[in-house]
Amino acid sequence: MKEYEYVCQECGQQIEVNGPMREAILENGCPVCSASAQSAHFSGQ
Ligand SMILES: [Zn+2]
């Protein structure tokens, strides 16, 4: 189920994520290019 959408500011990748995946990206960075992620890079509820 889609909960959030992450859009990487470095590589432009758009990824639909759930809550735990959002936390993982915030902690570890973009899964594609490892750019640091911020909460502002996520949309959705
Ligand atoms: Zn990226």
Residue 23 has pLDDT above 90, yes or no: yes
**Cβ-count burial of 21 within 10 angstroms (0-12 exposed, 13-18 middle, 19+ buried)?**
middle
Average pLDDT over residues 15-43: 96
Ligand 1: distance of its center to the CA of 15 in Å?
10
Report whether 41 contacts 7 (CB < 8 A): yes
Residue 37 CA to residue 22 CA, distance in Å, equals 9
Q: How confident is the model at residue 35 (pLDDT cuts 50, 70, 90)?
A: very high
Ligand 1 centroid, distance to 42 Cα (angstroms):
13
| Cα 11 to ligand 1 centroid, rounded to whole Å | 4
Domain housing 39:
4-44
Average confidence (pLDDT) over 9-34: 97
Domain count, the chain: 1
Q: Show the tokens assigned to 4.
A: 């959030």
**What is the Å distance from ligand 1's center to 23 Cα?**
15
Q: Determine the distance separating the centroid of ligand 1 and the alpha carbon of 5, expressed in angstroms.
A: 13
- Mean pLDDT across the chain: 94
The whole-number average pLDDT for the span 4-14 is 97
CA angle centred on 16, ends 13 and 20, rounded to 5° = 115
